[in-house]
A and B are shown apart, each in its own frame.
Chain A
Amino acid sequence: MAESITVNLISGRTIQQGVAIESGKEKPSYRTACGIIEMDISDLKKLGAWKNTNVKVTSDYGSVVVKAVEATQGPHPGVAFIPMGPWANSVVSDNTYSTGMPTFKGTPVKIEIAINEPVLLGVELVQRQCGVKVG
């Protein structure tokens, strides 16, 4: 059991993400679908985290709190997956290497247990990260 582990983060679509973006990104269902990190069971064990524990994911580009769940499309030890959305984009590499395309797949991230920190709603997360005043 470690205080934190380092994994390779990728992001992408899931069908739950697709349904959630069409049913309203301001709703809790968007958070349920995308405010998660899918981890291999062996990585969850290494971290010493129960399934469905909130974790803090940190990279050189930012950090975000998401819920750690067991990979649904595994096994993929050493690779973690956050569905595309503001949670993933809080930590992915924004380097485009002169192609215009950020490096959404393949960002090294540190994961640590953050059991008392909440996973924010989608719109709220972006507004906080950007310092937008909300009335």
Chain B
Amino acid sequence: MTKTITDVICPFCGTLCDDIEVTVSDDGKKLLEVANACVIGTEKFLHSQSADRVTKPRLRQEDGSWKTISYEEAADYTAQALARAKKPLMYGWSSTNCEAQSVGNEIAEIAKACCDNTAAVCHGTTLIAVQDIGLPSCTLGEIKNRADRIIFWGCNPAHAHPRHMSRYSIFPRGFFTGKGQMSRKMIVVDPRCTDTAKMADVHLQVEQGRDYELLNALRVAFKGEWLPDVVAGIPAEKIREAADMMKSGRFGIIFFGMGVTQTLSKNHNIDEAIAVTKDLNEYTKFSIMPMRGHYNVTGSGEVFAWQFGFPYSVDLTRGFARYNPGDSSSIDLLKRGEVDMMFTIGSDPGAHFPIRAVRAIAKLDSVCIDPHITPTSGVSKLHVPVAFNGVECGGNCYRMDNVPIDCRKVVEPPEGMMTDLDFLTMVCTRLKKLKGAA
């Protein structure tokens, strides 16, 4: 007899869908079917069952081959490497739970490390903008029940957050949005005619990298002031049409993504998007929310902020927390060759950092904690496979709207496999001994 577990949380993207149904074998050791999840979430659950999975830590040898070692040996190696290093970089954290992140922070404090999460290549510039001028935001539940103007700026949820539109933003019938999609107007701003843009009432195909100008032009249009004929590749009348559509709603939301955080102007794009939100609140109710990528990148920012006072790019080298993106941020530290050890967990900088930063990682003493084989494990000295968080172990995670949700364990990990939290606790105990910390 199989068992069906309901209300499972999907550990893929920041939408943290909480209605997944998973069918497991009677003994709870095999995951058989996944229902309700998007194609990516389904793949994540099913990949945990793959036969070719690495189940034991592997240490790279002189000739480039891997040698299988025990978790105890892997923890010894990691603790010694951290103890030896003058300035280790502990990066990732976004695909693990808050409990493991907290133990990681304890390790970082003892090792006097630089700590950073995947916001470094995602919404880091958003965090800078939020510190500049604040963020009028709300929860996804409020959007489902109230929002009738939905703006997707530089994001493509049809691909990156596949169930976002069906669960929260476009299709659901909420308390004040009883007609679902019919009660909402949708504006998409993107230099490509994305699959999200194809659904929009208005698509502003902005010239790539000109988001700041367009945001600024919208602020002018709200006030009915003069505009040039074309701004950022968009005719003035189309900008005015979009501005009127935004102003005429009862409750609006701007969702924004990498299209604005990763282009030139970076945090200033977000500054301006927040200013647009502020302006719109003179006419109606408007909110703004970053479309967070990894399922617990938000949680990592929360745990960093709670323990160190800053949401990413934290430098503990001097024994207290400093924060200075550009100086204490991962890419810059690696490019300048300032760190002497790389510790990666719950992320893949090997695939997602510019190649110059990855070359720097390959030269360092490095540990990669990840259930998958990745480009990062491919350039690291030690690869420690762990249980899939949210599938083979539970733990707390934060949705993109800062709502904490407990992930659930649905299936047993392969025999003898440790979780992130167990392994980090082992490393922490060993590091304390090596450093003589209490």
Binding site for B on A (CB under 8 A): 8, 10, 12-15, 18-19, 21-26, 61-62, 71, 73-76, 79, 81, 84-86, 89-90, 92-94, 96-106, 122-123, 125-127, 129-135
**B433 nearest CB across to chain A (Å):** 32
State the CA gap A61–B331 with chains docked (Å). Answer: 14
26 sampled A-B residue pairs with Cβ under 8 A = A15-B159, A18-B159, A19-B40, A24-B47, A25-B375, A62-B355, A73-B194, A76-B191, A76-B193, A86-B375, A89-B352, A89-B358, A90-B355, A94-B356, A100-B326, A102-B357, A105-B209, A105-B258, A106-B208, A122-B351, A125-B375, A126-B351, A126-B355, A132-B64, A132-B379, A134-B64
Asked if B292 is an interface residue, CB under 8 A from chain A, the answer is no
- Structural contact, B47 and A23, CB atoms closer than 8 A: yes
Closest 10 CB pairs of A and B: A135-B65, A100-B329, A98-B326, A94-B354, A135-B64, A130-B362, A133-B64, A100-B325, A18-B40, A126-B375
Residues of chain B lying within 8 A (CB to CB) of residue A106: 208-209, 263-264
Asked if B173 is an interface residue, CB under 8 A from chain A, the answer is no
Residues of chain B lying within 8 A (CB to CB) of residue A97: 264, 266, 326
Asked if B236 is an interface residue, CB under 8 A from chain A, the answer is no
Of the listed residues A14, A71, A86, the one surrounded by the most CB atoms of chain B closer than 10 A to its CB is A86
- Structural contact, A8 and B43, CB atoms closer than 8 A: no
Asked if B15 is an interface residue, CB under 8 A from chain A, the answer is no
Residues of chain B lying within 8 A (CB to CB) of residue A134: 64
Q: Which of B43, B65, B156, B355 contacts A129 (CB 8 A)?
A: B355
* Additional A-B contacts beyond A81-B192, A106-B208 (13; CB < 8 A): A18-B159, A18-B160, A73-B194, A73-B197, A86-B358, A94-B335, A94-B357, A101-B266, A102-B353, A105-B263, A122-B375, A123-B374, A131-B359
With contacts A19-B40, A103-B263 taken as known, whether A130 is within 8 angstroms of B208 at the C-beta atoms is no
**Quick one: closest B residue to A13, CB to CB?**
B160
State the CA gap A10–B209 with chains docked (Å). Answer: 10
- Structural contact, B66 and A135, CB atoms closer than 8 A: yes
- Structural contact, A19 and B39, CB atoms closer than 8 A: yes
Asked if B182 is an interface residue, CB under 8 A from chain A, the answer is no
| B153-167 interface code vs A (CB 8 A; 1 in, 0 out) | 000101110100000
- Structural contact, B326 and A131, CB atoms closer than 8 A: no
**Main SS of the interface on chain A?**
loop
**Quick one: closest A residue to B259, CB to CB?**
A105
Interface size class of B (residues with CB under 8 A): 35 or more
**B100 nearest CB across to chain A (Å):** 20
Of the listed residues A99, A130, A132, the one surrounded by the most CB atoms of chain B closer than 10 A to its CB is A99
Asked if B330 is an interface residue, CB under 8 A from chain A, the answer is yes
Residues of chain A lying within 8 A (CB to CB) of residue B61: 135
Residues of chain B lying within 8 A (CB to CB) of residue A18: 12, 39-40, 43, 159-160, 162
Asked if B138 is an interface residue, CB under 8 A from chain A, the answer is no
With contacts A19-B43, A25-B348, A89-B352 taken as known, whether A132 is within 8 angstroms of B262 at the C-beta atoms is no
**B121 nearest CB across to chain A (Å):** 7
With contacts A76-B191, A94-B335, A102-B331 taken as known, whether A123 is within 8 angstroms of B263 at the C-beta atoms is no
**A32 nearest CB across to chain B (Å):** 14
Residues of chain A lying within 8 A (CB to CB) of residue B235: none
Asked if B20 is an interface residue, CB under 8 A from chain A, the answer is no
| B332-366 interface code vs A (CB 8 A; 1 in, 0 out) | 10010000000000001011111111110110000
**B366 nearest CB across to chain A (Å):** 11
With contacts A23-B43, A25-B372 taken as known, whether A101 is within 8 angstroms of B124 at the C-beta atoms is yes
**Quick one: closest B residue to A25, CB to CB?**
B374
Residues of chain B lying within 8 A (CB to CB) of residue A126: 350-351, 355, 358, 375, 378-379
Residues of chain A lying within 8 A (CB to CB) of residue B12: 18, 22
**B181 nearest CB across to chain A (Å):** 20
